Amino acid sequence: MGQARMTRFDVIIVGGGPAGSSCARALVHAGLIVAVADRAAFPRDKPCAGWITPEVVAALELDLDDYARGHILQPIRGFDIGVLGGHRTPATFDTVVSYAIRRCEFDAFLLHRSGARVFERTAVARIERVRHGWRVEGVGETPMVVGAGGHFRDGVPDVLASVAGAPTRRRGCRGGFGRGGFRLGKRRFFRHRGVTALPREEAVVMIEKEPAEW
């Protein structure tokens, strides 16, 4: 029997958190066929970073009324500053400075609204070079892999450093990439300081920062 035909995507993103899902949404809106793989099943527990700022809301083009209908969204207009057992000083503001959210809800919402094909419970253990790009085990083939995981080694996502054999030092890359942006074929995509190219791998990029840090 012949080998099964491998599903092909324009971009495969490894990591389904806010960074990966936001990247996926931008690429889908640009007309690309995108896959996102994550080892977890969404919604999944995530105890850290249970708030978002108005700047993040704007960057994610989040409709707060729509989101609040089915998810926790608590506006924050003030807080107390102090130490345990000591004096507290209230700080209040005329406008909302932050919104409390539940990461289990927030991350799942962003991922499933991205429009990408989502591979949940898919721990990517192998990425290999093929003739026309990369083969991502359990997902498919693509000319471009994006590492959007939260674990890094010397500034490089573990999945790219360990699995794809990418170098672990950061430096510029010839062809295909510009400072803070990248091209797929003749099409150039968004530029922000969270996207970095890896040297000599013209089809591998990484996202360094979550949207809250943009």
The whole-number pLDDT of residue 178 equals: 36
Do 79 and 174 share a domain, yes or no?
no
Higher pLDDT, 115 or 184: 115
pLDDT at 8 over 80: yes
Q: What does pTM read for this prediction?
A: 0.73
**Is position 1 within any domain?**
no
Do 115 and 199 share a domain, yes or no?
yes
Please say which residue of 101, 119, 136 terminates a domain: 101
Please provide residue 130's backbone torsions phi and psi, each rounded to the nearest 5 degrees.
Answer: -125, 180
Domain of residue 69, residue span: 51-101
Question: Stretch 143-169: mean pLDDT, rounded?
Answer: 59
Question: Stretch 122-151: mean pLDDT, rounded?
Answer: 84
Do 56 and 41 share a domain, yes or no?
no
Do 94 and 60 share a domain, yes or no?
yes
pLDDT, averaged across the chain: 75
Do 60 and 153 share a domain, yes or no?
no
Query: Domain count of the chain?
Result: 2
Q: Which residues lie across from 157 on neighbouring strands?
A: 152
The whole-number pLDDT of residue 191 equals: 37
pLDDT range class, residue 129, cuts 50, 70, 90? confident
Do 27 and 121 share a domain, yes or no?
yes
CB contact set of 117 (below 8 Å; sequence gap of 6+): 9, 33, 34, 35, 36
Do 111 and 97 share a domain, yes or no?
no
Do 177 and 81 share a domain, yes or no?
no
Q: Please classify residue 120 by burial: count the beta carbons closer than 10 Å to its beta carbon, then call 0-12 exposed, 13-18 middle and 19+ buried.
A: middle
Do 121 and 56 share a domain, yes or no?
no
The whole-number pLDDT of residue 72 equals: 93
pLDDT range class, residue 204, cuts 50, 70, 90? very low
Q: Give 109-125 pLDDT, tens digit per residue.
A: 999 999 999 999 998 88
Q: Give 20-64 pLDDT, tens digit per residue.
A: 899 899 999 999 999 999 999 999 988 777 889 999 999 999 999
CB contact set of 121 (below 8 Å; sequence gap of 6+): 39, 40, 41
Do 149 and 112 share a domain, yes or no?
yes
Do 207 and 162 share a domain, yes or no?
yes
**Is position 20 within any domain?**
yes
Quote the tokens at residue 8. Answer: 């092909």
Do 78 and 154 share a domain, yes or no?
no
Chain centroid offset of residue 94 CA: 32
Q: 66-83: string of b/e by CB count within 10 Å (b at 16+)?
A: ebeeeeebeeeeeeeeee
**3 state SS of 53:** coil
